[in-house]
Amino acid sequence: MKNNFDAIVLGVGSMGSATSYYLASRGYSVLGLEQFDIPHDQGSHAGQSRIIRKAYFEHPDYVPLLERAYENWKEIETKTSSQIYFPTGLLYAGKPNDILIKGVRESAEKYSVKVESLSNAQAKDRFPQFKIPESYEVLFEPDAGFVTPERAVLLYVEQAIQAGAHIQTKEKAISWKKEGEIVTVTTTKETYACKKLIITAGPWASNMIPGFSGQLKVTRQIIAWVNPKVRKDFELGQFPCWLIDDHTQPGMYYGFPILPVGKFGGPIGLKVALHYPGQPTDPDAVNRIPSKNDERDLIRAIEKLLPEGYSSTHVMKTCLYTNTPDENFLLDFLPGYNQQVAIAAGFSGHGFKFVSVVGEIMADLAMNGKTDLPIGFLNAQRFNTSV
Ligand SMILES: Cc1cc2nc3c(=O)[nH]c(=O)nc-3n(C[C@H](O)[C@H](O)[C@H](O)COP(=O)(O)OP(=O)(O)OC[C@H]3O[C@@H](n4cnc5c(N)ncnc54)[C@H](O)[C@@H]3O)c2cc1C
């Protein structure tokens, strides 16, 4: 293998897999560096499923990016004759003035995203598995659902390799530096040179992005897969994805239907978690053993929101969020490096659904110096860094 590339992608997880694919499929010479195997469960992309939704409560500016993400998911599915996106519909519930409900309504209205408003009686009739307080508002987004993270990462990497990318696993980047028109990257094995470096290092990004360590807080997140009392009521096809702000904790609980192992792999069971930054952690020293308290909080939420949803815990796992101060992504050139270094980081626990569009954006940004997609609100300048 030669040591000079048009582009090096540092970190081949969620965002790096799609970025490698978009670069290689446009004919650029690409090196993707991944410190572990592909995929793996040490970062942010493990755990079988990720919610995808368009009526984005976080900020309406994400909706145009999501429209493109849906198109791009379709494209990779068609190209690989595989299914990544599963439209189960998504039930939202919360108080009418919650950010969740107000934000979903605002994005849906602004961009004509299909969202149904359900009365409490309609919700009970259609989704009897839930127990939702009378005072809550219930919305349903039929085209929302989930995507499969490990399968998506593998498909993008497979397609990147077929298009000519070199993907090195178990090779950790230690440092990089800009030397005139080129950027060199030194790993545990070699030193490589490229015209453009794209940093997609997830929870490890702050090690690789000078000046941003204070802006990227890594947190430990707990996910449970449980056995419900009556399994068939919660299986794929019978039960939607959901997101509920029940006001017992900051953040919101969310979950997925039970996915058949033959088609989706493990773990087995009904998956439930809390979307809120957990305990801060060093990504290289994560306590991966969930505590009794972690388990108790999730069981309590399931029993409250899904009365028939819990009989026993099957598996609990940890995963990592990388949070920015405003919980919006960081997609930009790294200031001060003459557009030779681009970063995609700080996905704050809601980035996977965007993988298919972030890959395209990073390829455009790095190689053309710009993207036509509206990413201005995700710029690096909004953080007061020392770069
Ligand atoms: C519990 C949980 C639930 C979530 N639920 C959802 C959801 O429902 N919907 C949604 O849209 N999003 C969700 N997310 C968020 C989403 O999964 C993340 O935003 C996304 O995976 C982040 O991708 P990434 O590429 O930044 O990180 P990763 O996928 O972790 O990739 C970074 C990669 O870089 C590699 N790397 C880092 N440093 C180096 C180095 N020095 N050398 C070589 N390789 C390196 C890492 O090993 C890793 O493979 C969830 C996340 C978690 C943890």
- Asked if residue 383 has pLDDT above 60, the reply is yes
Q: What is the pLDDT of residue 366?
A: 98
Asked if the model's pLDDT at residue 387 lies above 80, the reply is no
Range of the domain at 343: 4-46+150-213+326-382
Q: Are residues 116 and 240 in the same domain?
A: yes
What ligand 1 atom has the least distance to the C-alpha of 40?
A: 49
**Structure tokens, 80:** 């690989």
The answer on 223 and 112 residing in a single domain is yes
Report the Cα 363 to chain-centroid distance in Å. 18
Confidence of residue 78 (pLDDT cuts 50, 70, 90): very high
Q: Out of 25-29, 158-162, 350-354, 383-387, pick the least confident.
A: 383-387
Neighbours of 174 (CB within 10 A): 12
Structure tokens at 331: 């997609």
CA distance 342 to 23: 13
User: What is the mean predicted confidence (pLDDT) over 135-162?
Assistant: 98
Q: Is the CB of 221 under 6 A from ligand 1?
A: yes
Tokens of 295: 């388990």
| Domain count along the chain | 2
Give the chain's mean pLDDT. 97
Query: For the chain, how are helix, strand and coil distributed in percent, rounded to 5?
Result: 30, 30, 40
Claim to verify: residue 223 and residue 364 sit in the same structural domain? no
- State if residue 173 touches ligand 1 by the CB under 6 angstroms criterion: yes
Query: Is 236 within the bounds of a domain?
Result: yes
69 within domain boundaries: no
Specify the pLDDT at position 120: 95
Residue 127, in any domain of the structure: yes
**pLDDT greater than 80 at residue 385:** no
Could you tell me the strand order of the sheet in which 85-86 lies? Answer: 50-52, 145-147, 85-86
* Distance from residue 180's CA to the centre of ligand 1 (Å): 31
284 CA distance to ligand 1 middle (Å): 14
| pLDDT number for residue 2 | 75
State the pLDDT at residue 386. 60
State if residue 347 touches ligand 1 by the CB under 6 angstroms criterion: yes
Per-residue model confidence as pLDDT tens digits over 292-324: 999 999 999 999 999 999 999 999 999 999 999
Let me know whether 162 and 280 are in one domain: no
User: Residue 36: inside a domain, yes or no?
Assistant: yes
Residues 20 and 94 in one domain: no
In this prediction, residues 202-214 reach a mean pLDDT of 94
> Do 240 and 330 fall within a single domain?
no
CA 379 from chain centre, in angstroms, equals 18
Q: Provide the sign of the torsion angle of the four alpha carbons 336, 338, 340, 343, taken in this order.
A: positive
Beta strand 116-118 pairing with 137-141:
antiparallel
| Closest among 135, 151, 199 to 333, alpha carbons compared | 199
Last residue of a domain, one of 323, 342, 371: 323
**What is the CATH number for 367?**
3.50.50.60
Which residue's C-alpha comes closest to atom 48 of ligand 1? 13
pLDDT of residue 210: 85
Please indicate, yes or no, whether residues 207 and 350 belong to a single structural domain of this protein: yes
Q: Which atom of ligand 1 is nearest to the CA of 11?
A: 34
194 has a pLDDT exceeding 60:
yes
Residues 229 and 284 in one domain: yes
Q: Among the three residues 307, 323, 339, which one is the final residue of a domain in this structure?
A: 323
Q: Per-residue pLDDT for 36 more than 80?
A: yes
Q: H or E element: which one contains 297?
A: helix 292-305
Average pLDDT over residues 344-355: 98
Give 355 Cα–ligand 1 centroid separation in angstroms.
10
pLDDT band at 1 (very low <50, low <70, confident <90, very high): low
- Which pLDDT does position 279 carry in this prediction? 97
Does residue 65 lie in a domain region? no
Q: Strand (E) positions, the chain?
A: 4-10, 30-33, 50-52, 85-86, 90-94, 116-118, 137-141, 145-147, 166-168, 173-179, 182-187, 191-199, 217-227, 241-244, 252-255, 270-275, 279-280, 312-323, 330-333, 341-345
Do 361 and 231 share a structural domain? no
pLDDT-based confidence at residue 217 (cuts at 50, 70, 90): very high
The answer, yes or no, to whether any atom of ligand 1 lies below 6 A from the CB of 94, is: no
pLDDT at position 70 is 98
14 pocket-lining for ligand 1 (C-beta < 6 Å): yes
Q: Are residues 239 and 309 in the same domain?
A: yes
Same domain, 141 and 254: yes
Task: Give the confidence band of 32 by pLDDT, cuts at 50, 70, 90.
Answer: very high
Concatenated DSSP letters of 209-237? STT-GGG-EEEEEEEEEEE-SSGGGGBBT
Name the percent of the chain lying above pLDDT 90. Answer: 97
Say yes or no: 238 and 201 in one domain: no
